[in-house]
Structures are given as C-alpha cells and as structure tokens.
Amino acid sequence: MQVPPSSDTLTPTEARVAESVDRDLLVQSIQRLVAVESWNGQEGPAQELMAELMTDVGLDVDLWPIDLDEVTAHPDCSWEIEREQPLGLVGTLPGTGDGRSLILNGHVDVVPPGAEELWSHPPFGGVVERGRIYGRGALDMKGPLLAGLHALRALREAGVELSGTVHLESVVAEEDGGLGTLATILRGYRADGAIVMEPTDLFVAPAQAGCLNFRIRVPGLAAHGAVRDEGVSAFEKMFGVYAAIQRLEVERNQGKEGDPLYASYAIPFPISIGTIRGGDWASSVPDHVTMEGRMGVAPGEDFDSARGELEATVSQAASEDDWLRDNPPEVEWWGGRFLPARTSPDHPIVSVIHGAASSVTGNKAPLEGVTYGADMGLIANVGSTPAVLFGAGDIRVAHRPDEYVEIEDLVTMARTLAVAAMRFCG
C-alpha cells in the first residue's frame, strides 16, 4: 500500500473505506429521522434517535441538557423560538494518536412543513422515489447529517483507525440562529478543522455570508379613505424608504465581484424584504406599515458596521421627506443572526475536503462561498475552529414543498467525508 502523490486518486485503503458506505442503511436511517418531526423547537425526540444511531455505530455519545441561562447570556446567542429544554449531542470517534482533530456539524431542526397540500409526498414520510428521498429536512439537513454518521461507520467497518479525534455534532436551533452549536462550543468542543454539512451541492464552500434580521416601521397619519389627502399614507412613505434600501444593496455589493469565492453571484450579499404588514381597515389611510427583511453581511464585515449602514440609509431617506423628517421610521434588529466567516482556501480543512471530493468523484469540486448564514459563523468566530461548508443537495430545494435529496449525492458525500477524515486526522 502506498500513498499516491496526488490527492486526486484514492489509495486502496481509502477505496475500501469508500466502498464501505452502506447506501441502504443510510437511506433507512434518513427515513427514520425524517419521520421524527423536529420543527418549532421540538427537537428532543430527534436528538434521542440520533444518540441511538451514534451508539449503534460505536461512537462515544455525549447527550446533555443545554444550560439555557448560560448559552442565552452569550453575546453571540440569537434565537427566535422559545425552547423548554433543548439537548446537546456529540458522538466522538477517539483518535489513537496526536493527529488533527475534526468536527462534523449538522442540525436536526427543520423549518415548518408549510401547507401539506402543496406536497406530492407526505412531508414527514421519507418517501423514496427515483433515487430521491422526499421530506422536510431530507436535504436540510438530516440527510447530510446522517451521511456524516455513515462516513464514520464506514471507517469502522473498514477497520481504519484515525490518529486524530472526530466529533460528530448533532445540534438543534440552527434555523433560528445557532443556539445549539453555540452550546456545543461552550461545552468545549473545538478542533483543528470543522466541516459544516449544509447542502452545498457538493461544492466546497470556505466562506459564508452573515445575516441580520431587521424590521422597519414607517408611520403615517390616519384619515378616512374618502378624504385620503387629509391623511398621510404610510405605504407611500414606505416606497421611498424601500427605494433607498435597494440603492444601499447595490452600493454594498459593488466591488464584491472581486472576491473569487463570490464571483458567480449577481448579488452575493442581498438585502431582501420578506414581509409587509400595514393598515387595519380598507377604507382608512394607513397610519403604519412594517417591513421585515434580512441583510446579507460579507465575510470580514462586522455587524455594527452593517447595522449602521442600514440605519443611516433609512435616516437619510427620512430626512429628504417632509413627513418622515418629523415622523421618523424606526429600525429594529430582531430574531436570528448569523456571523459571516471565511477560511483561507489554503487551509488544510479546505484543501483536504477539496482533494477528497476530487478523488471520490474524479472531478474537481468547485470552490465557492455561500450567501446564506449557517453554523460555520459560530464555529469559526466563537469556536476558533477553521471551517468549511460541504454537503449534498441544492439549497434552493430547502424550505420548500417537496424538499428532497438525491441518494447518490449523499453516498458521494459520505465517501468524501470518510476520505477527508483519513487525510485530515491521519
């Protein structure tokens, strides 16, 4: 047996490990986990099932009640959904030597299924059809999380022992800000590198955008709609604020084309308005309208700077309007927020996963940042662990009816992770 000169070829041991990924067991475990509903903060049963699956694979299981007082006191904690007693869970494959340690991170919480009639398959059914598994969380990210588990299972099946330790982190509350990953960091889990198994479509993503949720309330003056010119429509005043935000988005994205990790995005750091609510009565001039949205934050930018830019833009728009000058809109920052992060493409955690992906597939995996926020921000910034995003499936299928993941992609992912663990941990 000999280590090949290029990482683009699998060694015989690596090939044996890759072959040990069991497609059928992987699919069955995903079907079981998808069937356990884990939205709206109800992640306990999903964590317990994950602990059982980790035990079956032979990992050392650390399942603990998260100390909510401790974690919510942390300055980087954010969340939207109240939880009574969330659970932390890490399965560890101890290393036999002093090789580099590795974290594989994935979340069990999912977004709500939405209207069931929009689904062709039951959202928690885990139906397999034409090589895909359908269900809420199949893609984001119970499928990828279990691909991580099955990578470690393949290592054990193939009898390979690693020098460095691998921690498989199964976390809660990623979708609403990352409280679960933060709790895992506070419990002490750090490593020489981390792979956050978000669905990147098997691209290697060494950068993620951050994001901030905002709420802007624009005031008006009520009047009967029959004499609407005696009032001030909050909607009409909102238009000017909206246009100013659109101009700010253009400004904030100018020059960002220079970053090769974001070169393929027309708008890498968008400012998007998601909800509008205003007025109480069809026949009244509306005296208020509230917009909620999310603001992308570039790697390297801090939250205060981003917040300041939006606030200044709204103030400036207000100062140019006779009504808003005296009745200024209010900007509020709320809900989940995600720290941006960027790891150098030269860092071993990036080059190893990139090389492993090329070796397993025979193709060079693209290297590209993502525009959404995920737990990489906490792991890199708070946990001081250089991290990369890598997982099967297209994020655009997430948070939608008929969410699905291709089984073949999950198998490729599991094989890549197993090979990457061997190369990273030694």
Active site residues: 109, 174
Output the smallest distance, CB 92 to a copy of itself, in A.
32
Q: Is 106 in the site for a copy of itself (CB under 8 A)?
A: no
Alpha helices, DSSP H only, in 58-131?
68-73
Output the smallest distance, CB 331 to a copy of itself, in A.
14
Q: Taking contact as CB under 8 A, which single stretch among the options 2-10, 41-49, 261-269, 379-387 is the one that binds a copy of itself? A: 261-269
The three-class DSSP label of residue 231 is coil
Output the smallest distance, CB 300 to a copy of itself, in A.
17
Alpha-carbon distance 143 to 134, whole Å? 10
In the complex with a copy of itself, the residue whose CB is nearer, 60 or 116, is 116
Strand partners, 213: 294, 334
Residues 135-194 interacting with a copy of itself (rule: CB under 8 A): none
Q: In the structure encoding, which two tokens stand for residue 211, read together?
A: 């994001």
In the complex with a copy of itself, the residue whose CB is nearer, 52 or 230, is 230
Q: Is 128 in the site for a copy of itself (CB under 8 A)?
A: no
**x/- string (CB under 8 A) for a copy of itself, residues 206-235?**
---x-x-x-x------xxxxxxxxx--x-x
Judge whether 399 and 140 are in contact, CB under 8 Å.
yes
Q: What is the DSSP letter of 138?
A: I
Q: Is 273 in the site for a copy of itself (CB under 8 A)?
A: yes
Among 179, 298, 395, 420, binds a copy of itself (CB under 8 A): 395
Alpha-carbon distance 60 to 318, whole Å? 58
Q: Is 117 in the site for a copy of itself (CB under 8 A)?
A: no
Output the smallest distance, CB 344 to a copy of itself, in A.
23
In the complex with a copy of itself, the residue whose CB is nearer, 366 or 372, is 372
Output the smallest distance, CB 243 to a copy of itself, in A.
9
Judge whether 392 and 147 are in contact, CB under 8 Å.
yes
Alpha-carbon distance 420 to 422, whole Å? 5
Q: Is the dihedral of CA 87, 91, 97, 100 positive or negative?
A: negative
In the complex with a copy of itself, the residue whose CB is nearer, 150 or 337, is 337
Judge whether 138 and 410 are in contact, CB under 8 Å.
no
In the complex with a copy of itself, the residue whose CB is nearer, 54 or 398, is 398
In the complex with a copy of itself, the residue whose CB is nearer, 91 or 373, is 373
Q: Is 372 in the site for a copy of itself (CB under 8 A)?
A: yes
Strands 102-107 and 341-342: unpaired
Q: Taking contact as CB under 8 A, which single stretch among the options 3-11, 49-57, 84-92, 274-282 is the one that binds a copy of itself? A: 274-282
Q: Of 413, 306, 288, give the one whose Cα is nearest residue 353.
A: 413
Judge whether 169 and 387 are in contact, CB under 8 Å.
no
Among 35, 127, 267, 331, binds a copy of itself (CB under 8 A): 267
Among 3, 67, 239, 325, binds a copy of itself (CB under 8 A): 239
Alpha-carbon distance 419 to 15, whole Å? 8
One-letter identity of residue 396: R
CA distances 33 to 41, 95, 124, 147, 314, Å, are 16, 28, 9, 12, 45
CA distances 110 to 8, 67, 123, 136, Å, are 35, 22, 11, 7
Q: Is 259 in the site for a copy of itself (CB under 8 A)?
A: no
Q: Is 78 in the site for a copy of itself (CB under 8 A)?
A: no
In the complex with a copy of itself, the residue whose CB is nearer, 328 or 335, is 335
Strand partners, 165: none
Alpha-carbon distance 179 to 66, whole Å? 9
Output the smallest distance, CB 153 to a copy of itself, in A.
32
Residues 16-55 interacting with a copy of itself (rule: CB under 8 A): none
DSSP string, 345-367: TTSHHHHHHHHHHHHHHSSPPPB
In the complex with a copy of itself, the residue whose CB is nearer, 63 or 267, is 267
Q: Is 296 in the site for a copy of itself (CB under 8 A)?
A: yes
Alpha-carbon distance 155 to 21, whole Å? 9
Residues 275-294 interacting with a copy of itself (rule: CB under 8 A): 275-286, 289, 292-294
Alpha-carbon distance 363 to 5, whole Å? 17
> Which residues of the shown chain bind a copy of itself in the complex (CB under 8 A)?
209, 211, 213, 215, 222-230, 233, 235, 239, 242, 265-267, 270, 272-286, 289, 292-294, 296, 335, 370-373, 395-396, 398-400
